[in-house]
Amino acid sequence: MVATFHNHTTFCDGKNTPREMVEYAIENGARAIGFSSHGYTPYDLRYCMKDTDSYIAEINRLKIEFKDKIEVYLGIEEDAFAPVDRSKFDYTIGSMHYIEKGGVYYPIDSSIDYNNKMRLAFDYDAIKIATQYYEKFITYIKTRKPDIIGHFDLITKFDEKAESLFLDNQEYHLLAQKYLDSLLPVDSIFEINVGAIVRGYRTKPYPYTNLLHKINKQGGKIILSIDAHSKELLTYDFTDTIKYLKDIGFSSVYTIKDGKFVKENI
Ligand SMILES: [Zn+2]
Ligand SMILES: [Zn+2]
């Protein structure tokens, strides 16, 4: 089982408690597990963590209780619109989950219905949506420098299941590549996020293949993420993903070991 660090629990929108996740990871031979509850987002209380102090206390408790069996890490998934106090966390995943227009925060990834509301608000204009999304996200990454960049091109999530706006659009690809270029070289690690594959929305992880080629060419760093919202997903088989990454040219991924980000050959 691959050690992964983008995982959610009942403290936000996950199905299992941290303890259930840790016990499951131990049963399946994991070396480490990291938690990344959604930081508090006052503009949308459905998915975020409401009791950050209890979350911190519980993960720190599990760290000690299971220290002989598994490395447990306390992370947070910070939304680009809601910076959090990072001082108590081992690492931060920086993610963009909303597009804001006229004071309304449109969720990008919660459902096809919500995604359609966002598309409608932007007159189904892929370039307008993508520009708004990447401008905000790139500025956030440059200023907040998260350890890990969460699902870089999340706006493409429903492209395979709803009407395609982005992935069939060459203009979109050029725009996304331009924004990625403006970011590289960046020290943050790009996550290879298979969350939408396990939920049946996509056949490829984020970021999309052409962006991965660019990240690889420019010596960017990557880390494997499941974005698990239930314990069973922790045993996700990364064999195909690793083959895909090797075919692109990657020879290593990052992980957290003994409290530090380190490189591992694949
Ligand atoms: Zn996310
Ligand atoms: Zn997440």
Ligand nearest to the CA of 98: 1
Residue 160's pLDDT band, with cuts at 50, 70 and 90, is confident
Residue 150 CA to ligand 1 center (angstroms) comes to: 6
CATH number of 18-265: 3.20.20.140
Where do the DSSP E strands lie in 65-123?
A: 71-79, 91-95, 98-101, 104-107
Place of tokens 């045993």: 235
Residue 79 CA to ligand 1 center (angstroms) comes to: 8
d(CA 70, CA 181): 37
Buried b (16+ CB within 10 A) or exposed e, 60-87: eebbeebeeebbbbbbbbbbbbbebebe
Ligand nearest to the CA of 154: 1
Residue 96 CA to ligand 1 center (angstroms) comes to: 7
Ligand nearest to the CA of 228: 2
Residue 79 CA to ligand 2 center (angstroms) comes to: 10
Distances (CA, A) of 81 to 121, 126, 158, 184: 19, 21, 22, 22
Residue 63 CA to ligand 1 center (angstroms) comes to: 23
Ligand nearest to the CA of 36: 2
Q: Is the pTM for the entire model greater than 0.75?
A: yes
Residue 68 CA to ligand 1 center (angstroms) comes to: 30
Residue 75's pLDDT band, with cuts at 50, 70 and 90, is very high
Provide the percentage of residues in the chain whose pLDDT is more than 90.
90
Residue 162's pLDDT band, with cuts at 50, 70 and 90, is confident
CB atoms within 10 A of CB 101: 14
Residue 76 CA to ligand 2 center (angstroms) comes to: 9
Residue 182's contacts (CB-CB under 8 Å, 6 or more residues apart) are 138
Ligand nearest to the CA of 225: 2
Residue 69's pLDDT band, with cuts at 50, 70 and 90, is very high
pLDDT at 52: 97
pLDDT at 113: 87
* Predicted confidence (pLDDT) per residue in 206-262, tens digit: 999 999 999 999 999 999 999 999 999 999 999 999 999 999 999 999 999 999 999
- Inform me whether the pLDDT recorded for 185 exceeds 80: no
Residue 225 CA to ligand 2 center (angstroms) comes to: 9
* Predicted confidence (pLDDT) per residue in 49-58, tens digit: 999 999 999 9
Residue 195 CA to ligand 2 center (angstroms) comes to: 8
Residue 110's pLDDT band, with cuts at 50, 70 and 90, is confident
